[in-house]
């Protein structure tokens, strides 16, 4: 019988702890498949964040390090400088990357660290129970913004891809979404390209992936996908911000 | 090799390179800047990598990544910067990663000052960051000893998979002394089979981690680390005993202050008072047994701890003496350095009372 589908070798067999309907599982698979298809699993080192993806080190089948909250780009810098031929990536959420870890991500991008960052933006703190994130939309309710985010009080949600795209050595920046199949296919393409950029030594690469959090958004998985499409994408446009000539 | 005149910070950096350190991540802060400056020039010459991080926080996390990737790696800073590194140091200890951290201590708290101090003793020896852990803390009293200890520090770190701190002060960092870079005694070190190098044909993936969500597993991890600490306490205590025979008063001092105390001891001798010194070279593990034993010496009337702080090591001296003899303290702080004369006066005052 012909095998029509196989699970990627980039993931372990460990059952994940993610909530039902959470899109972290899809994003893990896209990263792992990309590493496998590019032949990078044998020299990949990933860095897990603090947040929902904290246990990512158990799920990716390559070598992994677990970083302190927000520090993954600094940890990845240390790894990449020791093993310049390795495929080094960070997998970070929006609390980790866009709040406590802004200095680390901005300066890794500024130095043009040859690493790939997968930035999972679900507009909320998931692991700690639904607090407001820097990416939480105006009016969106969170446990620390019970009346919804008020822009006068908490400012406007931060657009990380747009910010990093102003940095010369951040050579590949793309925002994608995983709320439906066409977008998942595009997301995979972007992730693969980001790793290609790294392996060609062109500079820093990041893919921001818009993701859902049905549990803390208080929605069913299907409602959450719809909410992402209707609310997040208008504020966080899905687009490529930068691609180096070499991989166009 | 002939002796050469070296500035402390530069000698520490050179000693690290000679010990095989090839990666350095740091951030500017006085009075340790010559370490990163020296590294930025020398490391590329030996095929290594120096990187100036965006902050102390980032620097220590780069150390975490590089140590986890299997490299010999170092960072240096001074007191306020070391405070910022504490998060990363706790993670490094938790993940059992080897590295060397140099603290050229200045006055505190807060911004404090930039003159020499020893007021980071508690932070260095009692953990410093969150959780149950220890650093091995080495406190040189001269630039020559700093050079020797830096070389040793990397081996201790690798042998036990634990961060090691060199605790100097502004004097060690800034003064110049003759130094000889001798042969390094090499230890038999275990291979770093745990390092995240990329699988490269290995079957099981390596994970560098300090998270143990199951409390029973987390407790076991702590117990395992403390079994290691018991080994370190058994094997790695370094201490100098000076002039103890017949001493009426025993000083406790470490680092540069111990040298000032030696001058005070000579001055006391001229006045007919016999005084000795116990100088911990490892502040953790602390040479408890030496103090405990000295407390039983019949001639010893009292201990006097001298520090450039408001009194920190004195607590370990008290714990070691276990109430057998009175323990006194004399300290200057904020960047002020005690003079031999002040120390002599203090000793005489104590002995006057004790007699």
Q: Distance between CA atoms of A65 and A45, rounded to whole angstroms?
A: 7
State whether B49 and B170 are in the same domain: yes
- Whether residues B199 and B110 share a domain: the answer is yes
Instruction: For residue range B154-208, list pLDDT tens digits in order.
Output: 999 999 999 999 999 999 999 999 999 988 788 999 999 999 999 999 999 999 9
Residue A76 contacts B, CB cutoff 8 Å: yes
Considering the domain architecture, whether residues B204 and B225 belong to the same structural domain is answered as yes
For an interface test with A, give the residue of B51, B62, B94 to mutate (most A CBs within 10 A).
B62
Total tally of structural domains belonging to chain B: 2
Per CB-CB distance under 8 Å, the chain B contacts of A80 are 65
- CA–CA min distance B54, chain A (Å): 7
Distance of CA A49 to the CA centre of its chain: 10
Is B195 in the same domain as B262? no
- Pair (B253, B226) in one structural domain: no
pLDDT at A195 over 70: yes
Instruction: Give the model confidence (pLDDT) of B308-321 as tens digits.
Output: 999 999 999 999 99
Res B354: pLDDT: 58
* CA dist., res. A25 & res. A33, Å (int): 12
- DSSP class per residue in B60-125: HHHHHHHHHTT--EEEEE-HHHHHHHHHHHHHHHHTT--EEEEEEEB--STT--SSB--TTHHHHH
A62 contacts in B (CB within 8 Å)? 198-199, 205
Q: Are residues B248 and B225 in the same domain?
A: no
Report pLDDT for A214. 97
Q: How far apart are CA A82 and CA B47, in angstroms?
A: 11
Proportion of chain B above pLDDT 70, given as a percent:
99
Same domain for B59 and B175, yes or no, is yes
Tell me: do B217 and B246 sit in the same domain.
no
Confidence band (pLDDT; 50, 70, 90) for A1?
confident
* pLDDT over threshold 90, residue B353: no
Topology of domain A24-247, CATH: Rossmann fold (3.40.50)
Cα distance between the two ends of chain B: 50
List the beta bridge partners of residue B106.
B116
Chosen from A63, A85, A104 to mutate, greatest number of chain B CBs within 10 A: A63
Pair B27, B43 in one domain: yes
Helix crossing, A72-82 with B56-68: angle to 10°?
A: 50
Note whether B23 and B53 are within 8 A (CB).
no
pLDDT digits (tens, 9 = 90+) for B19-76: 999 999 999 999 999 999 999 999 999 999 999 999 999 999 999 999 999 999 999 9
User: Across chain B, what does the average pLDDT equal?
Assistant: 97
For A64-118, write each residue's pLDDT tens digit. 999 999 999 999 999 999 999 999 999 999 999 999 999 999 999 999 999 999 9
Residue B116's beta-bridge partner residues? B106
CB pair distance less than 8 Å for B53 and A107: yes
Which pLDDT score, from 0 to 100, does residue B186 have? Answer: 81
Most B CBs within 10 A among A9, A78, A88, hence the mutation to make, goes to A78
* Neighbouring C-beta atoms of residue B227, cutoff 10 Å: 9
Give the SS3 label for residue A247: helix
Pairwise CA distance, residues B97 & B74, whole Å: 12
Which residue among A43, A77, A83 sits closest to B62, beta carbon to beta carbon?
Answer: A77
Burial (Cβ within 10 Å: 0-12, 13-18, ≥19) of residue B203: exposed
Identify the three-state secondary structure at position A242.
Answer: strand
Among A residues 211-240, those touching chain B with beta carbons less than 8 Å apart: none
Domain containing residue B260: CATH number: 3.40.50.920
Residue where one domain finishes, among candidates B200, B235, B270: B235
One domain for residues B199 and B69 = yes
Residues B152, B158, B159: CA angle, nearest 5 degrees? 85
Q: Residue A96's closest CA among A116, A113, A115, A119?
A: A119
Span B315-338, average pLDDT = 98
How confident is the prediction for chain A on average, in pLDDT?
97
Cis peptide bond upstream of A220, omega within 30: no
Burial A153-189 (b: 16+ CB within 10 A, else e): ebeebbbbbebbbebeebbbbbbbbbbeeebbebbbb
Is B198 found in the same domain as B164? yes
What pLDDT, in 10s, does the model give residues B195-241?
999 999 999 999 999 999 999 999 999 999 999 999 999 999 999 99
DSSP result, B241-305: EES-TT-SEEEE--THHHHHHHHHHHHHHHTT--EEEEEESEEES--HHHHHHHHT-TT--EEEE
**How far is the alpha carbon of A123 from chain B, nearest alpha carbon, in Å?**
25
Every domain of chain A and the residues it spans: 24-247
User: Does the distance separating the beta carbons of B49 and A71 come in below 8 Å?
Assistant: no
Residue A194 has pLDDT above 60, yes or no: yes
Residue B1, pLDDT > 80, answer no
Indicate which CATH number applies to the domain containing B136: 3.40.50.970
In whole angstroms, give the CA distance from residue B110 to residue B334: 11
pLDDT, one tens digit per residue, over A132-177 is: 999 999 999 999 999 999 999 999 999 999 999 999 999 999 999 9
Q: What are the tens digits of pLDDT across the range B243-279?
A: 999 999 999 999 999 999 999 999 999 999 999 999 9
Tell me the C-alpha distance between B207 and B195, whole Å: 8
**pLDDT at B2 (0 to 100):** 85
Interface of B with A in 63-92 (CB under 8 A): 63-71, 73, 87-88, 91
Beta bridge partners of A231: none
Residues of the domain holding B270: 240-354
Counts for chain A of helices (H) and strands (E), in that order? 11, 7
Q: Which residue in A has a C-alpha nearest to residue B213's C-alpha?
A: A55
Statement to judge: residues B228 and B244 lie in one domain: no
Q: Does B52 touch chain A (CB under 8 A)?
A: no
Sign of CA dihedral B53, B55, B59, B61: negative
B125-145 confidence digits (pLDDT tens) = 999 999 999 999 999 999 999
pLDDT for B183 equals 82
Distance CA A186, CA A22 (A): 19
């Amino acid at each position: 019988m012909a095998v029509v589908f196989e699970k990627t070798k980039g993931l372990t067999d460990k059952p994940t702890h993610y909530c039902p309907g959470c899109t972290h599982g899809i994003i893990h698979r896209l990263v792992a498949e990309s590493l496998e298809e590019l032949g990078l699993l044998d020299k990949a080192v990933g860095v897990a964040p603090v947040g929902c993806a904290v246990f990512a080190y158990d799920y990716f089948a390559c070598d992994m390090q677990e970083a302190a909250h927000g520090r993954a780009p600094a940890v990845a810098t240390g790894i990449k400088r020791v093993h310049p031929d390795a495929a080094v990536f960070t997998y970070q959420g929006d609390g980790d990357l866009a709040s406590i870890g802004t200095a680390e991500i901005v300066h890794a991008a500024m130095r043009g660290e040859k690493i790939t960052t997968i930035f999972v933006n679900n507009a909320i703190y998931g692991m700690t129970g639904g607090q407001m994130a820097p990416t939480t939309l105006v009016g969106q309710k969170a446990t620390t913004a019970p009346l919804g985010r008020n822009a006068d009080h908490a400012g406007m949600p931060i657009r990380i891809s747009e910010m990093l795209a102003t940095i010369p050595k951040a050579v590949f920046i793309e925002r994608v979404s995983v709320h439906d199949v066409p977008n998942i296919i595009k997301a995979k393409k972007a992730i693969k390209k980001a790793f290609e950029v790294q392996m060609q030594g062109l500079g820093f690469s990041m893919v921001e992936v818009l993701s859902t959090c049905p549990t803390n958004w208080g929605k069913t998985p299907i409602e959450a996908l719809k909410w992402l499409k209707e609310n997040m994408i208008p504020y966080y446009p899905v687009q490529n911000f930068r691609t180096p000539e070499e991989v166009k | 090799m002939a002796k050469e005149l070296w500035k402390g910070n530069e000698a520490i950096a050179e000693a690290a390179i000679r010990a095989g350190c090839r990666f350095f991540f740091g951030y500017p802060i006085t009075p340790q800047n010559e370490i990163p400056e020296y590294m930025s020039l020398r490391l590329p010459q030996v095929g290594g990598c120096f990187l100036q991080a965006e902050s102390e926080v980032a620097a220590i996390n780069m150390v975490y990544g590089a140590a986890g990737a299997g490299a010999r790696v170092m960072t240096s800073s001074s007191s306020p910067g070391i405070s910022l590194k504490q998060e990363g140091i706790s993670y490094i200890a938790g993940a059992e990663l080897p590295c060397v951290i140099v603290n050229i201590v200045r006055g505190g708290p807060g911004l404090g000052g930039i003159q020499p101090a020893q007021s980071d003793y508690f932070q260095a020896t009692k953990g410093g960051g969150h959780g149950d852990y220890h650093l091995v803390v080495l406190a040189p009293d001269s630039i020559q000893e700093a050079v020797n200890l830096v070389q040793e520090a990397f081996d201790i770190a690798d042998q036990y998979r634990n961060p090691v701190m060199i605790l100097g002060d502004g004097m060690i960092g800034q003064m110049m002394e003759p130094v000889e870079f001798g042969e390094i005694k090499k230890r038999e070190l275990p291979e770093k089979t745990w390092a995240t190098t990329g699988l490269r044909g290995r079957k099981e993936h390596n994970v560098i981690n300090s998270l143990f969500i199951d409390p029973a597993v987390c407790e076991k991890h702590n117990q395992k680390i403390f079994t290691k600490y018991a080994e370190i306490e058994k094997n790695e205590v370094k201490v100098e005993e000076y002039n103890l025979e017949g001493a009426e008063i025993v000083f406790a001092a470490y680092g540069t202050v111990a040298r000032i105390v030696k001058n005070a001891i000579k001055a006391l001798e001229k006045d007919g008072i016999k005084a000795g010194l116990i100088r911990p070279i490892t502040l953790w593990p602390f040479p408890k047994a030496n103090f405990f034993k000295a407390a039983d010496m019949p001639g010893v009337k009292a201990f006097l701890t001298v520090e450039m702080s408001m009194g920190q090591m004195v607590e370990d001296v008290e714990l070691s003496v276990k109430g057998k003899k009175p323990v006194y303290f004399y300290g200057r702080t904020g960047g002020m350095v005690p003079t031999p004369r002040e120390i002599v006066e203090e000793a005489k005052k104590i002995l006057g009372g004790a007699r």
